Amino acid sequence: MDILLSGKAPWIEVETSTFANDWQKMLEQPRHADVTFIVESTHKLQAHKVVLCSASEFFRKVFGIVGREQVKKEVHVCYTCIV
């Protein structure tokens, strides 16, 4: 493999990052959500496990459970459970 050294650094084009916009779109589109919280049996809140786990040790423990709980796609939440 021959490398031509001209004494100059190669020209590299750097594209503007779309990460923030792509991340926002992902959060706004529930079709990619992989868990649903059912609050007081009436309200559904869809979420992304990777987002929850990246921000919270609690959710890393909740979704790291092996067995039946790991397969569940819904988490039931009641206000009395939170207090």
Cα distances from 23 to residues 43, 60, 70, in angstroms, run 24, 20, 25
Tokens of 66: 């092996």
pLDDT tens digits, one per residue of 8-49: 778 888 889 898 888 888 778 777 788 888 888 888 888 888
Q: Which two tokens stand for residue 20?
A: 């923030």
Report if residue 42 sits inside a domain: yes
Domain that holds residue 75: 19-82
Single-letter residue type at 56: S
Q: How confident is the model at residue 68 (pLDDT cuts 50, 70, 90)?
A: very low
Tell whether 6 is covered by a domain: no
User: Does any domain span residue 5?
Assistant: no
Compute the distance between CA of residue 37 and CA of residue 30 in angstroms, rounded to an integer: 12
Q: Is residue 57 part of a domain?
A: yes
pTM: 0.52
Q: If you count them, how many residues does the chain have?
A: 83
Our count of domains for the chain comes to 1
